[in-house]
Amino acid sequence: MTAGDVALLATELAISRATAYRLIKLFRAGGTVMSLVDRRRGRPDGHRVLDDQREEIIRTTISRYYLTRNRPTVSQLVRDVQTNCMSAGLKPPHRRT
């Protein structure tokens, strides 16, 4: 398949080109149309986006400040996580993380 073929397929299915490439890869691996049907959405189980250090900072900050009787707002929790990451010399995760 050429890049033009993939772009045409993506346009016809109203999906991104990256998704079209993923579907083509799944089809080629499975060999049948059914290989495209039983796909789970989202990240695979156990897949982590953050490194262990930032995961630990988030976990510690939540347990120390948020899981208390007088819990702060989520915005304050996010600021605390960002501050703790910067203090450790790490890039803070996005707010939605």
| Dihedral, 16, 18, 19, 21 alpha carbons, nearest 10 | 130
Q: Is the pLDDT of residue 55 over 80?
A: yes
For 47-55, which contacts have Cβ atoms below 8 Å and span 24 or more sequence positions? 49/97, 50/93, 50/97, 51/90, 53/88, 53/90, 54/85, 54/90, 54/92, 54/93
Average the pLDDT over 78-89 and give the result.
92
Average pLDDT on 20-33 reads: 85
Nearest to 56 by CA among 78, 91, 81: 81
